[in-house]
Amino acid sequence: MDLNFTPEEDEFRIKVRRFLEENIPKSGLGDGREGREDKAWLARAKEWQRKLYEAGYVAMAWPKEFGGQALEPVRQSIVNDEVVRAKAPYLIGGSGLGMLGPTLISWGTEEQKKRYLPKILTAEEIWCQGYSEPGSGSDLASLRTRAEIVGDEFVVNGQKVWTSGAQYSDMMFCLVRTDPEAPKHRGISYILIDMHSPGLTVRPLVQMTGDRGFNEVFFDNVRVPRKNLVGKLNEGWIVANATLFHERNMLGSASGSEQRFNRLRALAKSIQRNGHPLSEDPVFRQRLADLQIRVEAMRLHAMRQLTDQIRGRQPGIEAMINKLVGTELNHDLATAAMEAMGDDSMLARDEPSVVDKGYWPYEWMFSLGLVIGGGTSHIQKNIIAERGLKMPKSR
């Protein structure tokens, strides 16, 4: 594992830092609620991603012919580090950038890459993920949404649930059952669905955060062109796992944990206990040290993944480790903040006297959901044990 940057990479880092200092939007995008639907907020979020892309800082490793720059992944890693350092807003097109885009580059047709990748980069089209269904969460392969082939189209009927961002998305990458007689991991296909299609209904769900960022999505004879199939018919499970690999890395991002830890440390400095900042309390300092060690371990784990990527090594179970350790770490960071705030942690986000803009109560609830979403911790432990440690399957 190489922990050093070249002089050119250090120079690039300074350039990125200056850009962020001069261009981070002042509109409060970083504190926007997950369920925001208003067009003005959406337009600002898209504008921020487009500005970052035009500066050359989005999906830098993607092929040039599809809007990328074909650069070494270390450049994108530097950008990600600086985005965390600057507390810049997350990108509205994260699902397209982090999950579908890399999947299409590996599995899509040339026509699909030309059609979809450039609009993912510019946030012209926002994507959501159509995986989970009622009764098919952790056991994803048991999904029942059907797609029958009629002429040159799939006709889709069924329901998806917990679909983040569906309320403002333009497209969905979706798993459907195309052969109901096949074993459950077969007979599944991976298709791309226009969210504005006739027969498609989005119904927001109220989460424990009070937001409406999750959704139910209903399909009533929704027609999808056959050219929107990714990979082979009935072999979508292989493509789905490629997307899951990228999703798990995204959910357990070391940069995200580092950003939360920095915010927790600032909070501890702002709270007074016995006449001194809480950050000077020996018991809480010990807790901060423990959390910082875990954050640093995740950062080094991310650098090991980056080294493997640069050297062309095949990924193993690292993404599952990211998902398992990263999401639980994020919830522990939020728990420490809640306990540090004491009774103030009970204030609603809109209360005038709320601490740190009400970020931590929201984050505590939201991060708990991510321990479950994208495959629960229990599922990740099973995969790590069986595929990574080669332990026998339970009976």
The pLDDT, as a whole number, for residue 2 is 65
Q: Which residue, among 174, 141, 182, has the nearest Cα to 158 in the 3D structure?
A: 174
* Residues 6+ away with beta carbon under 8 Å from 202: 163, 166, 167, 195, 215, 216, 217
pLDDT at 33: 53
The whole-model pTM stands at 0.86
Q: Which of 203, 199, 202, 244 is nearest to 224 (CA)?
A: 199
Task: Identify the pLDDT of residue 212.
Answer: 83
Residue 166, burial from CB neighbour count under 10 angstroms (0-12, 13-18, 19+): buried
Q: Which two tokens stand for residue 380?
A: 């990740």
Per-residue burial over 189-207, b = 16 or more CB atoms within 10 Å of its CB, e = otherwise: bbbbbbbeeeebebebeeb
- The pLDDT assigned to 363 comes to 92
| Residue 7 φ then ψ, to 5° | -55, -35
Kindly give the parts of the chain with pLDDT less than 70: 1-2, 27-37, 315, 394-395
Q: Based on the number of CB atoms within 10 Å of its own CB, is 223 exposed (0-12), middle (13-18) or buried (19 or more)?
A: middle
**Residue 189 belongs to what H/E stretch?**
strand 188-194
Helix and strand tally (H, E) in the chain?
Answer: 12, 10
The predicted pLDDT at position 50 comes to: 96
CA 139 to chain centre: 20
Please list the active-site residues. 247
> What pLDDT, on the 0 to 100 scale, is given for residue 253?
78
